[in-house]
Amino acid sequence: MQSALPIALSAQVAMEKRLETISNNIANSRTAGFRAEEVKFETFLSEASANPSAFVSKGETYISTKVGELTQTGNPLDMAVTGNAWFAIQTPNGTVYTRDGRMRINEEGQVQTLNGESFLDAGGAPILVDPAGGGISVARDGMITQGRGQIGAIGLFEMAANAKLQRAGTSGVVPDVAATPVLDFNAAGVMQGFTEGSNVNPVLEITRLIAVQRAFESAANLITKSEGSLDEAVKTLGATS
């Protein structure tokens, strides 16, 4: 049996998944706090024949934790994280971690995302300020000062190096290993008046998109040629039998 056909098909399956992730990355290249998706491919050997063949796996998707570009906005309710840390927000499906620190304060004084989800402190409780108490100041360690007093702190959380992240919403993630509060604010901290953009490089992603599309077409051509050679072999064998 020819091995070119199944190998080309396995490559197309892998590239189709890659096309999906690249398209999603490009679509969110301007989404605050968005983390790009990458695909890790591996090969495996088939030893069913005398000449083992290498096949491409369908690929394993993972979320890149590379830092996005910081932009100074001057808005006191815009926060960005420096270092390997995340904000925590409370959603209907539980705690989600995000690098999107654009905040608002509702009528009850809850510090929320632009979608209305509460930001959490280091203990996992919603953060409350005085909605009529004037502006807030946020220190590197997340401590919130309003008026003359400290009224709470924005929680920062770090994730284990081996944690696998699952996307939650547009800019949120959920790790399979529990995140822990940041204790060392020299390595990580909050920057008030800044936002973090997506970590997608649009030019690189478009280049990848073109390369994958061409590779997909090459695999399709290989399948066509393989099927053509099989047809010719059947015709030849049929004519001589």
Which candidate, 35, 14, 15, 16, places its Cα nearest to that of 201?
35
Which stretches of 24-142 are assigned E, i.e. beta strand? 37-40, 43-46, 53-56, 60-63, 70-72, 78-82, 87-91, 94-98, 101-105, 111-113, 118-119, 136-138
- Residue 153, pLDDT > 70, answer yes
Q: Which helix (H) or strand (E) holds 192?
A: strand 189-192
pLDDT for 29 equals 93
Question: Do the Cβ atoms of 71 and 197 come closer than 8 Å?
Answer: yes
Per residue in 62-92, pLDDT tens?
A: 899 999 999 999 999 999 999 999 999 999 9
Per residue in 80-136, pLDDT tens?
A: 999 999 999 999 999 999 999 999 999 999 999 999 999 999 999 999 999 988 899
Per residue in 182-218, pLDDT tens?
A: 999 999 999 999 999 999 999 999 998 888 878 777 7
Could you give the CA distance from residue 122 to residue 132 in angstroms, rounded to a whole number?
24
Question: Do the Cβ atoms of 156 and 189 come closer than 8 Å?
Answer: yes
- DSSP H helical ranges for the chain: 4-27, 202-240
Q: How far are the Cα atoms of 8, 15, 168, 206 from residue 19, in angstroms, in the given order?
A: 16, 6, 21, 10
Average per-residue pLDDT for the chain = 84
